[in-house]
Amino acid sequence: MGGIAYVNGRYLPIAAAAISVEDRGFQFADGVYEVIALHRGVLIDEEPHFARLSRSLAAVGMAWPMPKPALRAVIREVARRNRVDDDGTLYLQVTRGVSPRAHAFPAGLRPTLAMTARRLPAFTFERARQGVAVITLADQRWSRCDIKSVALLPNVLGKQRAAESGAFEAWLIAGDGTVTEGTASNAWIITKGGEIITRPLGHAILGGITREAVRCLAAENQLALVERPFTVAEALAAAEAFLTSTTSFVRPVVRIDDKPVGDGRPGPLTERLLRLYMQRMDQAATVTARARAGVKG
């Protein structure tokens, strides 16, 4: 595997990068992470990602691995060294650090910081608008899904079940029969009356950065949006459905448990939201590029 990783102050080929066998992230999944998209070489929603990382670190009582300005500099250097000058992703992980294996952790541990970045094919409307299928599974995760923890075994198993079923994603179902979210995405439906619905924030779901961007875009464009739980039956009766995430952006969902949503094709309102999101990313990339070049206005 090619590429350059950053681990605790060192930039190394990924094959040579390593952490201690007693790192608590490795032994206990005692860590948190972020995934940030890059478009035209520009970090998208950097501030919201930093804010969510701050919330996750605080929720688990973990220190920042370095001052924020230094972390921003490392992020950009990792992207540069991996030549992510167009579209790609940056993965950042912070664990509590290294200590002899015991569930309780000693005070004063130095956090472990690891980072990688990868180039992706250029983001296009045609690729992003391709409809996908999802399956539904019981939500077996812990009760603090709002923390972006590296403890993702239920998510991994759910995503694998989806892949084995020929689906793109698995939507997770709470004990009351409502959809919480996907294994790696937030879930949305659009009613026949044009109302956009997604589950409200809380401990049951992760506050997706793309979810928040879409929520704001809906408000800016006077689109009706309601944050409430919805059931699989409601989703199957909806006109459209879609999912959002940092790596999937706005992706139409056209089948749920092998049953069509609407007419089984990407819907017009989902495609409108995708176009609005693309415009937002392009604008952010343009503003950053102009700032780097010293262009005003």
C-alpha pair distances (Å), 33 with each of 72, 106, 130:
15, 21, 28
Greatest Cα-to-Cα distance within the chain, rounded to the nearest angstrom: 58
| CB neighbours of residue 84 within 10 Å | 21
Contact partners, residue 51, CB within 8 Å, separation at least 6: none
Q: Which two tokens stand for residue 85?
A: 């000058």
User: For residues 189 and 214, what is the distance between their CA atoms, to the nearest angstrom?
Assistant: 13
Number of H helices, E strands in the chain: 8, 15
Q: Which of 38, 22, 169 is nearest to 98 (CA)?
A: 22
- Which residues share a beta bridge with 241? 189
User: For residues 80 and 136, what is the distance between their CA atoms, to the nearest angstrom?
Assistant: 39
Contact partners, residue 101, CB within 8 Å, separation at least 6: 22, 27
Helices (H), 8-121: 24-28, 46-59, 68-81
User: For residues 49 and 34, what is the distance between their CA atoms, to the nearest angstrom?
Assistant: 7
User: For residues 73 and 113, what is the distance between their CA atoms, to the nearest angstrom?
Assistant: 14
Which residues are known to be catalytic? 148
Q: Which two tokens stand for residue 207?
A: 């506050």
Contact partners, residue 297, CB within 8 Å, separation at least 6: none
H or E, element range at 169: strand 169-173
